[in-house]
Structure 1
């Protein structure tokens, strides 16, 4: 086939004469931006043009975690035709090839993407890839800088405002995040990331009924979302229900019909479902309501004994450790924990230091799961703040449950005065959270404080007001 040049979705030149190759690449961009179920469409692009550098390097990135051998073949194919690639393809190749390299430095990977986006600011696929990297680095400041860098060239572009909203959320700029998410939703009602960001903002501001109504109205459109996005959106809904009076029935309903049921789909990604299922059940456990979910947790833990679900991402591993320990699978939990520690030891000194708090959190959740609150508390220390553990690959809302675990461990080990102090500080930031008032009530009761009645009444008022 005589080579020519085609323009991709962003209007950038790609060295290929295959319309089908470009079509597959564009379909992949769409799947990435919409958290679609068919991201594997990128594997069709090299079938249409085996020499296309962009097709091969994007296929390599898609495969690098699940099938590194095939990924390497695509990387080699891209390298072998590098000299025939367009400047845009070469810039993408440089950024992605380094990103999937074994000994990458995350800071360098971000800088390479920043350089790519300075030259080609319309490439929202590369922006999304870079933002995912920043998320796993726990650096929303980097993520925000990247989107602000390209925003002037994408003012009316679909998906850009959802990508702007999320780092704003993670940096605590809730009003700005809500505004950006609403703008993204106005441009494209099917922007699931903008929907998700708006829910985040409403949830943080304790506007739980508003968040539930919005997400349930949007939910019929989620059938095309990936297992993660579909179940994660419902996870947010369940968390909002959790703040109301007599919430457990609704949470159970969401778990059964909107999270666990996802596994019935032939194209479900199990690990993505397990992450949201575990995140929800841990919240239920902290609230002392796990009894009604006990059989479900045992089924989930049984599935999690499968090593195929281990070491995918640290956030999932931390939750698996809790579930295995909680259900008495201590041998399996011990194997997973030792494996994590072994992997941590083999990291570079820089990476090892960055991940240290994540490993301590993993060990603490193992101890908490098997009922040793005292040891878990020792591991987390007196100044624990879950926000410092974002490097496990979790949002502020996802890691906040570990703060709740920490508060409960202090109360469980008769350190009520310390718990009261940190809970009172937390309530000043999010006064509308009923569960924090419930924990405060518990702490006051343990110390014999007459403030317990006031805290309990405040919790009841909030619970009733939301629903």
Structure 2
């Protein structure tokens, strides 16, 4: 039996299949190229290579897109009939957990694989992604830190685990160590988009444009080419330019880097596009036909109710495009999902639904209701996934609702919080001034 690039036994005797599988592992950890094609090549070389089927299923189920359900099910069935060692069998069970809506069970199963087999970087990476989707912030940090024990600095896999640890450290507020781990990982491999992204998060959370803009712009020639994750790092650069107040630059990045193909069918890309356009919408920026183009794409998933985080971003796009009927359709689908079983039902019930109702209230001018629903949910919003940077859209929407609704004290409170967290941020400063001006105006009335 052969071993993969990290030394884990694999259920194949085919050197050709193993070479393609190792190529897929490299593409997966770098978020580059087409790892499904590499796994398909491994399977073509050995159709009974159960580990390749399990890896394929795991990758597909974590796209949070119902469109991949049939292909994921095909991989799970084929994997169950193929050769599997005990570790690979657990991988396949984790993929099945995810496919059946048990995201937490699948993520914990992957974590246990990584703990028992600390050189299984794929299990760690899939568990890490699961933590992100479930808002498991401590585990996002701790599971990569656990795995580092099995690798020496400079060894294949070490820097990628550092990059994962960096993101977890950032999400837990340990910005200094996150910056160190992330920069070390990128120094080892500048193409590591996830590690680049971890440092980008540090700069975003600090509101540090002086460090953040050149970090992304100057390194782009390494991480951007052939990266399936590049749109998200470009999104982070767009956030920094939006903080700076350069909305023309933000729109240029949106058109050229975040959403270069307005018809692209990638849900994770739609999420970033919705989030960026909604931020511009809050600032009163005319985004032209972009919302409408995006809403047209979201239509195919608007009633999937597959993952509450996605549903909220679909609603942003529909509202921005003036498609209130489509937003209500998604809201109804979310209400149905909330009554079902599985982890998404819980996420929808506790977080997704009140936030969806809040955004709909914002667009309808019911600003008091918007503020109330967001502020009562914001403290547990990590339970439906995303990063602090992504969920910042909740705070921004509540603050703008308070400003528009004349809730001066609430606006000042939220603005003061933001400025305390990001004292260097020009955007935080602008919003704080708006809140103070609203208060002064009301006092003078």
Q: TM-score, normalised by structure 1?
A: 0.85
Q: Is the 8 A contact 2:238 2:253 kept in 1?
A: yes
Question: Residues of 2 paired with 1:349 and 1:169: CA distance?
Answer: 25
Q: Which residue of 1 aligns with 2:150?
A: 153
Question: Residues of 2 paired with 1:274 and 1:23: CA distance?
Answer: 33
Q: Is the 8 A contact 2:274 2:317 kept in 1?
A: yes
- Equivalent in 289, 300, 309 of residue 295 of structure 1: 289
Distance 1:272 1:128, change over 3 A: same
Q: Is the 8 A contact 1:54 1:78 kept in 2?
A: yes
> Computing the radius of gyration over CA atoms, which structure comes out larger, 1 or 2?
1
Q: Is the 8 A contact 1:31 1:39 kept in 2?
A: yes
The Cα of 1:223 is off from its aligned counterpart by: 2.1
- Equivalent in 6, 19, 37 of residue 23 of structure 1: 19
Task: Specify the SS of the correspondent of 2:10.
Answer: strand
Aligned residues: 434
CA offset digits 1:87-117 (Å, max 9, x no partner): 43334344444443x25361x4343223211
Q: Which residue of 2 aligns with 1:104?
A: 102
- Equivalent in 49, 52, 59 of residue 49 of structure 2: 52
Q: Is the 8 A contact 1:444 1:450 kept in 2?
A: no
2:72 is aligned with 1:92: no
Task: Specify the SS of the correspondent of 1:8.
Answer: coil
Q: Which residue of 2 aligns with 1:284?
A: 280
Question: Residues of 1 paired with 2:442 and 2:70: CA distance?
Answer: 65
Q: Which residue of 2 aligns with 1:439?
A: 431
Question: Residues of 1 paired with 2:205 and 2:150: CA distance?
Answer: 30
2:258 is aligned with 1:259: yes
Q: Is the 8 A contact 1:21 1:49 kept in 2?
A: yes
Q: Is the 8 A contact 1:411 1:419 kept in 2?
A: yes
Task: Specify the SS of the correspondent of 1:14.
Answer: coil
Q: Is the 8 A contact 1:6 1:13 kept in 2?
A: yes
The Cα of 1:263 is off from its aligned counterpart by: 4.7
Q: Is the 8 A contact 1:154 1:160 kept in 2?
A: no
Which runs of no fewer than 5 residues in structure 2 stay unpaired? none
Cα RMSD (Å):
2.6
Moved more, 148-157 or 171-180: 148-157
Q: Which residue of 2 aligns with 1:331?
A: 325
Q: TM-score, normalised by structure 2?
A: 0.89
The Cα of 1:139 is off from its aligned counterpart by: 0.7
Structure with the bigger RCO (C-alpha within 8 Å, sep 6+) is 2
Task: Specify the SS of the correspondent of 1:306.
Answer: helix
Distance 1:241 1:349, change over 3 A: closer
The Cα of 1:239 is off from its aligned counterpart by: 1.0
2:337 is aligned with 1:358: no
2:189 is aligned with 1:188: yes
